[in-house]
Amino acid sequence: MSLPYLHIRDVADLVEAINSAQAMNKPLAVQGSGTKTNLGRYVAQDQILSLKALTGVTLYEPEELVLSARAATPLAEIETLLAKNNQQLAYEPLDYAPLFGQPSNNGTIAGALAINASGPRRIKAGAARDHLLGFSAVTGRGELIKSGGRVVKNVTGFDLSKLVCGSYGTLAALTDITLKVMPKAETEKTLILLQRTERECLNLLRQATASPHEVSGLCMIPAGQMEDFDQNIAALRLEGPEISVASRCESLCLELTENDLERTLLSEEESKLFWKKIKNIEPIKACDGQIWRLSVAPRDGIDVIESLQSAGLPIQGYFYDWAGGLIWLAIAPAPHAYAKIIRAIVDQAGGHGTLIRANVETRASIDVFHPQPKVLAQLTSRIKFSFDPACILERGRLRAEF
């Protein structure tokens, strides 16, 4: 059954809609372009709060590296505008849409921030939340709030940007955002190292993170998991001025490689295409099963995979990003998504696991997000209830209790 839409025209509409939903105890799903609706726990909401009309870039000062836009402004529109001035969103927002059979590059800026969608360059440039300078939003109390501003500076008080990023719309409905933007690199190259085991490839990636060469992408793809590569590969991206990239690439090769180690170098265009595939999780896109996102210390990535294999999980495919600290895992579908086994192994490594893709029945019956320790869970609840005491916004999407 399709849900009724509340089409929001402006902030006043949004305040009125949330206050009305509170009075009637009708939970709201917050939606821009709808590309994130299959993420998170599934709980049926009563109405859809459509922010689709809140679009448009409201401020852009290239020389100040700052941009402001309304919540539902298409991410593609922002990236196109930035590209005209040779600038970018340095955190390289990933795109989940292709995993769900949706067109790529169709999300909104607020949607990307709401899930803290940070891509391969996160290891160098930081996460999405590190680039959010300020925002306006309406909380679940129906109150308009503003946080931050247009510059990066040290301040006292609460940094609400860190809370709303990754909150999946459960704390407040964003209306306007202000972002830090960064210059694009003059060029980029990607060094591909071959003829090594998975563990050896990951060791090379971790070695590169300790080097002075400012590597901006470090992923490991197992043999046969990606088109054009029939053996294990370690991929390392270098960005910057042409002469610097060439010099750093040569130095990195000397530090990492041995005489018998096969390597190849991707051109700028090849490199951009390669990392777009990594950003969009394409190495496992063809797998028809459930998809997990596992975050662990880079040194533990290979041990986690080997433990999952030893436990007999029906693994369809996987690959590593962030030098082994992020594992994308596809498994054959099961009602329980093997959550207990996966999380027990991830817990031993001090990490956490999020179920990214599964059917509605599975997402309604298990914890999609990693269970929190008691003290952290209590803190999370207090934050939620301070913003949204009636649990009107995205009720149950993060945690069953709210």
Domain ranges of the chain: 1-184+372-402, 187-279, 282-371
231-238 mean pLDDT: 97
- H-run or E-run covering 346: helix 339-348
Asked whether residue 158 carries a pLDDT value surpassing 70, the answer given is: no
Confidence of residue 3 (pLDDT cuts 50, 70, 90): confident
Q: Which of 281, 279, 280, 348 is nearest to 308 (CA)?
A: 348
Q: Which of 215-224, 249-258, 316-325, 344-353 has the lowest mean pLDDT?
A: 249-258
Tokens encoding 59: 């401020």
Q: How far apart are CA 349 and CA 133, in angstroms?
A: 33
148-152 mean pLDDT: 65
Q: How far apart are CA 219 and CA 281, in angstroms?
A: 11
What pLDDT score does 195 carry? 85
Question: pLDDT: is 144 or 148 the higher one?
Answer: 144
DSSP β-bridge partners for residue 193? 234, 263
255-274 mean pLDDT: 87
What pLDDT score does 258 carry? 65
Give the pLDDT confidence of 6-52 residue by residue, as tens digits. 999 999 999 999 999 999 999 999 999 999 999 999 999 999 999 99
What pLDDT score does 104 carry? 85
Asked whether residue 103 carries a pLDDT value surpassing 90, the answer given is: no
Residue 32 DSSP class: S
- The string of DSSP codes covering 224-248 is TSBTTB-S-EEEEEEEESHHHHHHH
Q: How far apart are CA 72 and CA 62, in angstroms?
A: 21
Cβ neighbours for 169, distance < 8 A, ≥ 6 positions apart: 30, 114, 393, 394, 397
**Average pLDDT taken over every residue of the chain:** 94
Asked whether residue 249 carries a pLDDT value surpassing 60, the answer given is: yes
Confidence of residue 150 (pLDDT cuts 50, 70, 90): low
Asked whether residue 376 carries a pLDDT value surpassing 80, the answer given is: yes
Asked if 171 and 164 touch (Cβ cutoff 8 Å), the reply is: yes
Confidence of residue 256 (pLDDT cuts 50, 70, 90): confident
Asked whether residue 227 carries a pLDDT value surpassing 90, the answer given is: no
Asked whether residue 125 carries a pLDDT value surpassing 50, the answer given is: yes
Other CB atoms closer than 10 Å to residue 245's CB: what's the count? 21
Tokens encoding 174: 């964003």
Asked if 163 and 8 touch (Cβ cutoff 8 Å), the reply is: no
DSSP β-bridge partners for residue 359? none
Asked whether residue 196 carries a pLDDT value surpassing 60, the answer given is: yes
123-128 mean pLDDT: 95
Cβ neighbours for 271, distance < 8 A, ≥ 6 positions apart: 188, 189, 190, 237
DSSP β-bridge partners for residue 28? 47, 393
Asked whether residue 96 carries a pLDDT value surpassing 60, the answer given is: yes
Q: Are both 1-184+372-402 and 187-279 of the same fold?
A: no
Long-range contacts of 267-275 (CB under 8 A, 24+ apart): 267/189, 268/187, 268/188, 268/189, 270/190, 271/188, 271/189, 271/190, 271/237, 272/188, 274/190, 274/235, 275/92, 275/119, 275/120, 275/190, 275/217, 275/237
Other CB atoms closer than 10 Å to residue 384's CB: what's the count? 21
Q: How far apart are CA 323 and CA 255, in angstroms?
A: 17
Asked whether residue 213 carries a pLDDT value surpassing 50, the answer given is: yes
Give the fold, CATH level 3, of 1-184+372-402: 3.30.465
Confidence of residue 151 (pLDDT cuts 50, 70, 90): low
What pLDDT score does 2 carry? 72
What pLDDT score does 152 carry? 52
Q: How far apart are CA 49 and CA 152, in angstroms?
A: 31
- H-run or E-run covering 96: none
How do 57-61 and 66-70 pair as beta strands? antiparallel
Asked whether residue 53 carries a pLDDT value surpassing 80, the answer given is: yes
Q: In angstroms, what CA-CA distances link 277 with 219, 319, 321?
A: 11, 12, 12
172-185 mean pLDDT: 97
Give the fold, CATH level 3, of 282-371: Alpha-Beta Plaits (3.30.70)
What pLDDT score does 154 carry? 47
Asked if 352 and 297 touch (Cβ cutoff 8 Å), the reply is: no
369-376 mean pLDDT: 95
Answer yes or no: CATH 3.30.70.2190 is held by domain 187-279.
yes
Q: How far apart are CA 70 and CA 32, in angstroms?
A: 11
Confidence of residue 105 (pLDDT cuts 50, 70, 90): confident
How do 315-321 and 87-88 pair as beta strands? unpaired
